[in-house]
Amino acid sequence: MSTASTPWSAQRAAAESVRPASVLVWPWFAALALFLMGIGATLGGIGGAAEGSKRPAAVVDAAAQQQARSLSGPLTAIEPGLAGLSAERLSASAALTCADLQAGLASQDLTSRTMARFGGSGYLLTEQQAGRIIATVRAESCGSPAYG
């Protein structure tokens, strides 16, 4: 038996045909609005200050710049090519090395990561140079307020 022959199918078809189009479309607009709000919130959070940071970004940047300047001389004595690294890369590499030291990373892993972080174009770091870089970073950076 088909549903077309039942009495309620005709009433149902008539009831559906009188619904305004806005009743059928508004859930899609609501979903789209929520989606766009989520995208906006995500993109708005990119590049923002870290929530755990208690110091203003300018203070942290100034401390990191000062730390990079103090590291530049000793690291250039280890490998002259390190003088070409930007202050941002130098301070970021030092901070990551300090984090590895605090995590108690194995010596070989720490050495290979340091070689990769501080390596550059035109020179290759040896394991001995990486060891000297680790010692310099530990002495110069790991206790500084820029990284603590």
Residue 39 maps to a domain: yes
pLDDT at position 134 = 92
Residue 3 maps to a domain: no
pLDDT at position 146 = 47
DSSP line for the chain = --GGGSHHHHHHHHHHHTS-HHHHHHHHHHHHHHHHHHHHHHHHHTTPPPTT--S-HHHHHHHHHHHHHHHHHHHHHH-GGGGGS-HHHHHHHHHHHHHHHHHT--HHHHHHHHHHHH-BTTB---HHHHHHHHHHHHHHTTTSTTT-
pLDDT at position 6 = 64
Mean of the per-residue pLDDT values of the chain: 76
Backbone angle region of 31, left / alpha / beta, with phi > 0 → left and psi within -120 to 50 → alpha:
alpha
C-alpha to C-alpha distance for 13 and 16, rounded to whole angstroms: 5
pLDDT at position 72 = 83
pTM over 0.75: no
Residue 99 maps to a domain: yes
Residue 120 maps to a domain: yes
pLDDT at position 147 = 44
Residue ranges making up the domain that contains 75: 25-142
Whether the pLDDT of residue 62 is over 80: the answer is: no
- Residue 129 pLDDT level (bands cut at 50, 70, 90): very high
C-alpha to C-alpha distance for 92 and 4, rounded to whole angstroms: 72
Whether the pLDDT of residue 127 is over 90: the answer is: yes
Residue 47 maps to a domain: yes
Residue 117 maps to a domain: yes
Residue 58 maps to a domain: yes
Dig out the tokens for 41 from the structure.
């919130």
Residue 85 maps to a domain: yes
- How many structural domains does the chain have? 1
